[in-house]
């Protein structure tokens, strides 16, 4: 796989660390746990979308865009990171925020909403009436075109055949790192929402004949809905990269039992997991993505899915700024 032929802006000047989690490993008494620290990426708070934006912003600039449009939930890490990348490139940025839980958008809120305002979003369009974010973005884009501007629309999560290349690149990075560490991974876990991170890792490992199983933990939808989305995006990525062999049957593994009450609504076990990582490894998870993903991994360990001594890597996709919007829920004991 030759990623060098794709236009790319470099926001990842270094390989994010892969760290062993000794305290959590001891506390759970299961496999050896490692973490890929994509929460340390650039972007006014870091997170996985930075990797996708390297390719998406390069495409936007190649098309002569002067304004970036994207969408997400009220506390969207993707929107914050897209805005951050636009600032770096000297572009305007407008955001479409979907109020998926009624009454959750407040202009004076903390977390990512505060950072979006601080970074200087040109406009924030809030949807609370059930309209599709993609439709609203197109309406905004059409208005900008009438003004003589050149908008570029990035889909939610940056999850298309351009953005997904970021996690194909991450899979290559993981293989490079683990080779030099002498670390043979038995399994990888990551969040699965808009599917770009998960599909990119699957295709990246598959294209390198790495044969490392990857499990995606759903943060929003049922497996029956997510799996076809992953398969479709993985197929587009494989075609873009010239990978002729399809993903083997059974390669897509999605756990959908950790969504809790719904997207952005943490279950009590998720909150416990966020506290556990903070108090054993001093690592911050968020209750929307990484907390639910780690919750799923920990539950699988407690169910005996992994043997002692196996090597399991958790891909930390970031999101800690959203923690400040969940202070009461996260600190409440019992």
Residues classed as catalytic = 76
| Residue 262, strand partner residues | 265
Q: Confirm if 260 and 221 have CB atoms less than 8 A apart.
A: no
Q: Confirm if 157 and 72 have CB atoms less than 8 A apart.
A: yes
d(CA 90, CA 174): 31
Tokens linked to 74:
């009220």
Using H for helix, E for strand and C for coil, what is the string for 78-123? HHHHHHHHHHHHCCEEEEEEECCCCCCCCCCCCHHHHHHHHHCCCE
Provide the 10 A C-beta neighbour count for residue 310: 16
d(CA 144, CA 18): 43
The DSSP-derived string for 132-193 is -HHHHHHHHHHHHHHTT--EEEE-GGG-STTTTHHHHHHHHHHHHHHHHHT---SEEEEEES
């Amino acid at each position: 796989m030759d990623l060098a032929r794709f236009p790319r802006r470099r926001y990842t000047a270094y390989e994010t660390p892969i760290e062993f989690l000794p305290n959590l490993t001891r506390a759970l008494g299961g496999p050896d746990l490692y973490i890929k620290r994509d929460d340390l990426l650039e972007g006014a708070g870091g997170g996985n979308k930075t990797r996708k934006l390297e390719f998406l912003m390069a495409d936007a600039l190649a098309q002569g865009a002067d304004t970036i449009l994207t969408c997400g939930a009220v506390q969207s890490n993707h929107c914050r990171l897209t805005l951050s990348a636009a600032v770096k490139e000297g572009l305007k940025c407008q955001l479409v925020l979907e109020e998926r839980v009624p009454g959750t958008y407040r202009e004076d809120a903390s977390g990512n909403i505060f950072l979006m305002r601080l970074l200087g979003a040109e406009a924030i369009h809030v949807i609370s009436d059930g309209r599709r974010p993609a439709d609203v973005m197109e309406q905004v884009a059409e208005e900008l075109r009438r003004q003589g501007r050149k908008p570029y629309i990035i889909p939610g999560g940056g999850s298309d055949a351009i953005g997904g290349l970021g996690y194909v690149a991450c899979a290559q990075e993981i293989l490079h790192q683990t080779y030099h560490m002498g670390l043979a991974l038995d399994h990888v876990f990551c969040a699965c929402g808009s599917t770009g991170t998960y599909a990119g890792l699957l295709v990246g490992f598959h294209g390198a004949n790495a044969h490392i199983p990857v499990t995606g933990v759903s943060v929003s939808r049922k497996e029956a809905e997510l799996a076809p989305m992953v398969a479709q995006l993985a197929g587009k990525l494989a075609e873009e990269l010239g990978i002729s062999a399809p993903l083997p049957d059974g390669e897509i593994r999605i756990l959908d039992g950790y969504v809790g009450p719904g997207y952005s609504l943490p279950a009590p076990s998720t909150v416990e997991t966020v506290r556990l990582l903070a108090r054993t490894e001093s690592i911050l998870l968020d209750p929307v993505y990484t907390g639910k993903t780690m919750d799923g991994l920990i539950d699988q360990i407690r169910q005996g899915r992994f043997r002692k001594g196996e090597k399991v890597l958790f891909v930390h996709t970031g999101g800690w700024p959203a923690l400040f919007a969940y202070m009461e829920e996260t600190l409440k004991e019992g």
